[in-house]
Structures are given as structure tokens and as C-alpha cells.
Chains A and B, each alone.
Chain A
């Protein structure tokens, strides 16, 4: 494509997504777009479709009146932030012209093009966008079920689980052992467990210095590993121990009654256990037939249309997005690309060639931020990283650079949540 030529037309560039030549649309009849999931991906997509197609009827179906954001929820665990700073309503989305149905989508009829809600209401659509996030794979780890999660919280969906784990950490005696288990790929937020480990270690070091965190990992390698490990060695040498797959880190089963995590190499009894279990695309993805045998949703990387069911688009954590990680930043970027594609397709135009950005910040300690960034485009049917772009923060960066990244992380959260919910 000739970007130079297209650049004279409407250019949409926002935080994270660049779609050259988004359409100027003049559809005859009001197109109907239904969006499932009012999180980072879905709320962005609903607003973007409405912005690009002002005459469209856009309905956002979401199951809770208040959204609790996961990014920065690790700070809540460490007592550095109040949960209310994570919570957002849908007033802003509504003001943008999107109708909200507070209900769970229960079924999708792809042939009839309708979504059935919990109360039996049916919503007809020309195009459906699904960004339902993740569900826990309750059959993925022996002994870990919904009752177990009340004793060994995952806190991988923010809200009550976050507060439960926070209370447990607060109530623990100084000297208690905290154990965290981390699953194999893929899962929501690849650097998230290690940011969490860092901030729990920070809490222990400053408030429960005789305690320690043991991280049992089903992997040998992880996101921003060298940066995290360098920081742990210098900041938390006595408070954080990471056990890799090859040194016996993989948790095979858990026993909530005795607070025990069992690995190939032994048993660990915890005072507080944070089990981050295996995950899959949220249940509605399976019901709708857009998830494959892996539990995740294959998509076309330029339009985010499902590879399995026509006229349904999937983005965010639920989608198989090639090299892009499952992050809120990525979900927001993908939503913009998807909305532009949906707007084009509804007006009979080809979808534009997208380029997407992701940046994942992690806080290792107060005023100590690190990041991994990437720029992505479709290559041979998958989202691939643009060669020569992206990478992590420098290993040898000075403290003022770490402090700057911690500030940029906070700035990013304010900007994105304002854009999505404000």
C-alpha cells in the first residue's frame, strides 16, 4: 500500500494503534454492531465504531456495572493503592453514544446474527465484536476449583479476589511463607506475575521482614526476565526466591485444606498462597464457537475477524494475536484496528493495513519502572513484530530512568482509562 498517498485521507492515530486511511463512511441504513465485554478491548471498540460510524446502533453488552481494572492492581496487593483507583463506570461510554446492556451474553447465533442475553433478550447484529477477556481453566490444575480460590486466591481478575489476597497478606504473621504459582504460556499479562512478585516482596521487606516469597514457575524463561532478576538480586535478595521449571517449579496440584502446593520435586506449605492458574478465552467464546481446541480464538490479523465464524470479530486477551502479548495496552490498540476494519467492511470498503503498538510497564519497586515495547503488523496471516523495533528497557539504566518509567506507567494508566471510560 502507498502510505504516502493514503496519508492525505483520514488518518487515525491514537495511543497504540495506527490505521492509515480509515474510512469516511456513509452507510445507507444504520448498521448494528454488538460488542461483548466492557473491558479494555470492548469499551474501546464500542466507542471507536460509534465515532467512525455515527449512524450505527452500537450496543455494549457487559456483565458488571463497575469495571475493576487489572493493571496496577498489584499495587493494591502491596498496600500502595486503593482498589477504588481501579474502578470505572460506564457513564463516559454511554455519553459517547453507545447503548449499554448490563447483562451476560449467554449465546450467539451466528446464522441468525443475534446475541442472547441472560434475561432472554435477543440483540441482532450485522457485525459482532467480542472482547470477553479470560476465564480460569478450572480443570487445568488438580485441586484448584472455585472453592479453592477462596483459600488460595488467583487475583487474576481484579476485584474481590484482589481484596481477598490483600487481606490474607495483611493478616499473615511476620515470618510466614508466601507461595505464588505461575502457569505456562499463554496467559493474561506475561510480565504480571513478576511485577506482583516484586511488589509482594517489597511489602514483605518493608512490613514483614522475616517473611519470604517463593515463586514456583512452570517456565524457564519469562518477560523482562533479565531486568526483573537483576532488580530482585539487588533489592530483594532475602525476600524473593524464584524456582524455574527445570529446578522443580512446576506446580502439579494444590491442596487448599492444608495450603500445600505440590511440585515434581516436593511440597510447599504456605501461610498465604497465590495460585495463578492456567487460563482460556472467556466461556462465551467457546459457546459462540469462536474458540479452537487450544481454548483461545484464532483471528485474521488485519480485521480481527474470527477464523472460525464469519461476521464475528475477536480481540484482547481472548484472541490469538501472534506476537502481541495479552495486555490492556494491546487490547486497546487491537480494538481501534478492529473498529476501523468493521467500519470499512460495513460500508463495503476493504479494511486498512494496520500497525499496532504495545508497551507493558511493570513496577519493580516504588519509583522503579521497567518496560517492554513492540510494534506489530500482519505478516503471512499472523501478527508479527516489525523487525528491528521493540525490546525492553536497558539493563544498565540509571535510577532516574527507572523513576521516569514508573511515572510514565502511571501516566499510561491515567491516559488509557480516561480514553476508555472517561
Chain B
């Protein structure tokens, strides 16, 4: 699994939306993504994007 740290925030937000929508294959991320709002996802994505 590729690490999230250092990936673009836009990428992470897009993947999370796809997990929520069921279009990205998942074992658990679909269930986890549904627990976060758009704004929260953006904040987390920005944090990961800032990690090297």
C-alpha cells in the first residue's frame, strides 16, 4: 500500500470521496471514509500532504 504521507491533498480527497461512493475498491476504507465529512477529509489530506 503506498504511504499517504507526502501525497497531494487533492489525490487523498479524491480517493476518500471514491471510497465513500463505493467506486474505489476497499476492504475497510469504505467503512472508515463514511465517518468523515468533506471538510474533515480536506484537513486530514492537507496534514498528510505536509508530511515528508
Which of A's residues lie within 8 Å of B, judged by CB? 3-4, 6-7, 11-13, 18, 20, 355, 357, 359, 371, 373-376, 386, 388-391, 393, 401, 404-405, 408, 411
Contacts and interface: CB of A to CB of B under 8 A. Distances in A.
A411 B46 CA distance: 24
Interface string B23-52: 000011001101111011011101110000
Interface of B: 1, 27-28, 31-32, 34-37, 39-40, 42-44, 46-48
A357 B35 contact: yes
Contacts of A390: 31-32, 34-35
B40 A355 contact: yes
B39 A355 contact: no
Given A4-B42, A7-B42, A389 B47 contact: no
A5 to B, nearest CB: 9
Contact of B44 (A4, A11, A376): A11
A3 B32 contact: no
A222 B14 CA distance: 35
26 contacts: A3-B39, A3-B40, A7-B39, A7-B43, A11-B46, A13-B43, A13-B47, A18-B40, A20-B40, A355-B36, A355-B40, A357-B32, A371-B27, A371-B28, A374-B31, A386-B35, A388-B34, A389-B35, A390-B31, A390-B35, A391-B31, A393-B27, A393-B28, A404-B27, A405-B27, A405-B28
A85 to B, nearest CB: 21
B28 A408 contact: yes
A391 B43 CA distance: 24
B47 A373 contact: no
A18 to B, nearest CB: 6
Contacts of A4: 39, 42-43
A373 B31 contact: yes
A327 to B, nearest CB: 14
Given A12-B47, A359-B28, A404-B27, A411 B1 contact: yes
A249 to B, nearest CB: 30
A196 B16 CA distance: 33
- Which of B32, B36, B48 has most chain A Cβ within 10 Å? B32
A405 B28 CA distance: 9
A15 to B, nearest CB: 10
Nearest to B34: A389
Contacts of B28: 359, 371, 373, 393, 405, 408
Contact of A375 (B35, B43, B44): B35
A411 B3 CA distance: 12
Contacts of B44: 11, 13, 18
Nearest to A401: B27
A78 B48 CA distance: 38
Contacts of B47: 11-13
B27 A408 contact: yes
Given A7-B42, A393-B27, A404-B27, A359 B37 contact: no
